[in-house]
Amino acid sequence: MMNSLLLYSVIGGAASLIGGLLLLLKPGITKAYMTPLLGFGAGAFLAAAFIDIIPEAISLVDTPQHVMVFVLCGFLGFFILERFLMRSFHMHKGRSTHSEHTESLPYLLVLGDSFHNFLDGILIGFASLVNPATGLSTAIAVASHEIPQEMADFSIMIRQGWSKKVVLGINIAQSLLTIPGVFIGYSMGSTVGSYVAPLLGITAGMFIYIAATDILPELHHNSSHTHFFRVVVPTLVGVIFVSYFSFLER
| CB distance 75 to 209 below 8 Å | yes
Give 123 or 51, the one with higher predicted confidence.
51
73: domain range? 2-19+34-249
pTM: 0.68
What average pLDDT does range 24-34 have in this prediction?
A: 64
Count the domains in the chain. Answer: 1
| CB distance 122 to 181 below 8 Å | yes
For helices 34-47 and 132-159, angle between their N-to-C axes, nearest 10 degrees: 150
Percent of the chain exceeding pLDDT 90 equals: 8
pLDDT of residue 76: 95
- Burial call 100-115: b when 16+ CB within 10 Å, e when fewer: bbbbbbbbbbbbbbbb
Residue 24 lies in a domain: no
From CA 175, how far away is CA 50, in angstroms rounded?
23
Residue 27 lies in a domain: no
